[in-house]
Amino acid sequence: MQIKVLGTGCKKCNELEQATREAVAALGINANIEKEEDIMKIMEYGVNRTPALVVDGKVVISGRVPSEKELKELLS
């Protein structure tokens, strides 16, 4: 699984990255997690609000940090 956390480094972006790493570890998922902070690359995903989460090339969350439960459901 390929996961990207899109965000410019704000508090919420960092929270999403940490929550994503924790959810992946808790679920035992084999995933490659990357953080993308380049605004031009973020815009290529059509994301207008960060943080955003991209799973296997598809934007699944944008503009907010999901709950732990929702995040685990998205990654399962």
Query: Which entry of 1, 2, 10, 22 is annotated as an active-site residue?
Result: 10
Contact 23, 30 (CB under 8 A): no
Distance CA 71, CA 43 (A): 22
Query: Which entry of 3, 13, 19, 53 is annotated as an active-site residue?
Result: 13
Whether 10 is a known active-site residue: answer yes
Whole-number Cα distances in Å, 16 to 6, 40, 48: 9, 20, 16
Whether 13 is a known active-site residue: answer yes
- Catalytic residues, by residue number, are 10, 13
